[in-house]
Structure 1
Amino acid sequence: MLSQVRDLDLQLLRLFVCVVESGGFSAAQGELGIGQSTISTQMAKLETRLGFRLCERGKAGFSLTPKGEQVLAATRKLFGAIETFKGEAQGMADKLLGELSIGLSESLDAGVLQRVAAAIGRFRQRNQAVQIELISATPAELERRLLQDQLHLAIGYFSGNQTALEHQPLFDEQQSLYCAQGHPLFTRARVSRADLDACDRVLHPYRFISLDEPYQGCPSSARCEQVEGSLAFILSGAHIGYLPQHVAAPWVANGLLRALLPDEVSFAVQFRLTRHRGRQPSEAQQALQADLLASFAD
């Protein structure tokens, strides 16, 4: 009784199929390259393994038993499944699979989003079947998710203090200090540092770039981690605060925001592509990371 299928069994089954398709032992000699007695011995081994006769051979010629007919059908089905497996396995060897979660810092410039989109487009041209999730969040949230293995990659500005994270520079974002229509400095012809010191400034409680900000004025009665919240505070006319220049640009164009001392207190923030240093990246993650770096290098 055949309880396990071994390599030898597969060899014997292939011989069996060849004998049947050739029309008998004698006719199969040329196809198999072995003598008739060896073929007969091998067929006997297979029948012993199965526990029943597969064919009748003698003066009346070669013919399959009813069980032999069923074994032939089952064997062809088995070899067909093996060929299907080989094809699918080969396809998987060259195919990127899995899931990727990518974090994006909030309120990115349109040009930056176009580069991210271009990288995704490049990745989709690869031989892949990868589920990609994009998550927009504050830098603090992105860093937390990276450390907790909830993100594979993130694009944002980070403290650089987390040794578990690996960073690769992507681009710089320009930041300026703004006030809005209705604020005392909005219409003032000349603004000084002393004027700024008397203002109520929006405080960012988790701004990794805060120590690099050229202006560190106080006091502050407004706190916000999100760019949109900071913009709302500034538009109220009661506060001054830093904003990415691309976020402020349409409001400046409409005459609702004004940059304060742009040559003195504006500065650049470096955005980086970040991953967890201690986690082995999948082939899909490595490929998308390469596409992102290439897109921003163009």
Structure 2
Amino acid sequence: MLGQLHDPDLHLLRLFVTVVEAGGFSAAQGVAGLSQPTISQRMAQLEARLGYRLCSRGKGGFRLTEKGELLLQATRGLLLNIEQFRQQANGVGGRLLGTVRVGMAESQDTSVSLRLARAIARFRERDEAVQLELISAPPAELERLLLEQRLDYAISYFSGNQAAFDYQPLFEERQRLYCGKEHPLFRADEVTHKQLLEADQVRHPYRFLKGGEPFQSQRCLATAEQIESVLTFILSGRHIGFLPCHCAAPWEAQGQLRALDPQLDFTVPFTLARHRGREPGEAQRAFVEDVLWAFTPASTCPARSAPHQPPARTD
């Protein structure tokens, strides 16, 4: 039975919640950054400290005991109270304090970066001494960091399947199908749908669209999650693939890429996501207020600058 509650006990309780939300020891490995034997050992430590069994794990799968269910509810309440205490203590005196950690998808359009910069500038006009942290990562990584509550917010495209997240729409990004200048379709007078179906297409393992899937060819010998990797495959002249129009534009202007069929374009919704279990403090709420202001169409944001140009052609 737990007597006094110490920091190691809190770490074990946080791991317990992570295991439950992941659905078992094996599934929690990637989220917790620990091996399955280590997770099993630490859960055994927690059960020993408590004096009762928390879950059953075997052929029937992972399942909480009745006492495990009660502890889960109590632990979530405890962690929420701790976070609220931390935020309230940091906000004493009316001045915004603490840290705001924000993740964002890579290779953003210039206009998106300018709007986010304007939000930061507006936030800095407040009475605050807040440490701001910006982290760029692929969408799947941002989801993982949000689930681990290592981020307060993330701006990206998401699957929308995480019940633990709240989403607020910000903007949309247009994607288009391209080929490189060495690809047989690059100099074709007319590209048919049959030719596209037979072309080798780069596939993205993280799909998120709700309004129907975009075009999919019948061949796939290349997979990439990051935009830069997709671009590299396309520039090889051996694959076609979708890219954000703003990323492809400078390469298209240099004659390195060709848009294949604008009718296959689709838009990707970008949202501001946060973990529902992480109650935002004053600093977090103020920063989000400024972000939403900056992404409101009526806000007066700086004009979009010229895109960064790729290296000069050497051919």
Quote the Cα distance in structure 1 between the aligned partners of 2:107 and 2:207.
15
Quick one: which amino acid aligns to residue 224 of structure 1? A
CA contact (8 A) 1:165 1:277 kept: yes
After TM superposition, list the pairs within 5 Å mapping 1:69-218 onto structure 2.
92-209=92-209, 212-218=212-218
Is the 2:181–2:237 contact (alpha carbons within 8 Å) kept by the matching residues of 1? yes
The answer (yes or no) to whether the contact 1:213–1:265 under 8 Å persists in 2 is no
Q: Which has the higher helix share?
A: 1
Using the TM superposition, give the Cα deviation of residue 212 of structure 1 relative to its aligned residue in structure 2, in angstroms: 3.7
- Measured after TM superposition, the shift of residue 92 of structure 1 is 4.1
Q: SS at 1:97's partner residue?
A: coil
Q: Aligned partner of 2:289: which letter?
A: A
Deviation sequence 1:94-136 (CA, Å, 0-9, x none): 1000011100101000000000000011111100001111000
Unmatched tracts of structure 1, length 5 or more = 1-88
CA RMSD of aligned residues (A): 1.5
Note closer, same or farther for the CA distance 1:157–1:287 as it changes in structure 2 (3 Å cut): same
Asked which structure has the greater CA Rg, the reply is: 1
Q: Would you say 1:274 and 2:273 are equivalent positions?
A: yes
Q: Could you tell me which residue of structure 2 aligns to residue 229 of structure 1?
A: 229
Cα separation, partners in 2 of 1:168 and 1:114, compared to 1, 3 Å: same
Would you say 1:252 and 2:241 are equivalent positions? no
Within 5 Å, which residues of 2 pair with 1:29-40? Answer: none
Q: After the TM superposition, list the runs of 4 or more consecutive aligned residues in structure 1 that deviate by more than 6 angstroms.
A: none
Q: TM-score, normalised by structure 1?
A: 0.68
| SS of alignment partner, residue 183 of structure 2 | coil
CA–CA separation in structure 2 for the residues paired with 1:209 and 1:105:
16
* 2:287 paired with 1:288: yes
Structural mapping, 1:16-27, within 5 Å: none
TM-score (norm 2): 0.64
**How many percent identity over aligned positions?**
54
Q: Which moved more, 1:225-234 or 1:189-198?
A: 189-198
SS at match of 1:103: strand
Corresponding letter in the other structure for 2:238 = A
Task: Give how far 1:213 is off.
Answer: 3.7
Q: Structure 1 residues 211 and 166, CA, compared in 2 at 3 Å: closer, same or farther?
A: same
Aligned length: 208
Q: Distance in 2 between matches of 1:210 and 1:121?
A: 34
Cα-to-partner distance string for 1:54-81 (whole Å, 9 max, x where unaligned): xxxxxxxxxxxxxxxxxxxxxxxxxxxx
Aligned mates of 1:115, 1:218 — CA distance in 2: 39
Q: Which moved more, 1:128-137 or 1:214-223?
A: 214-223
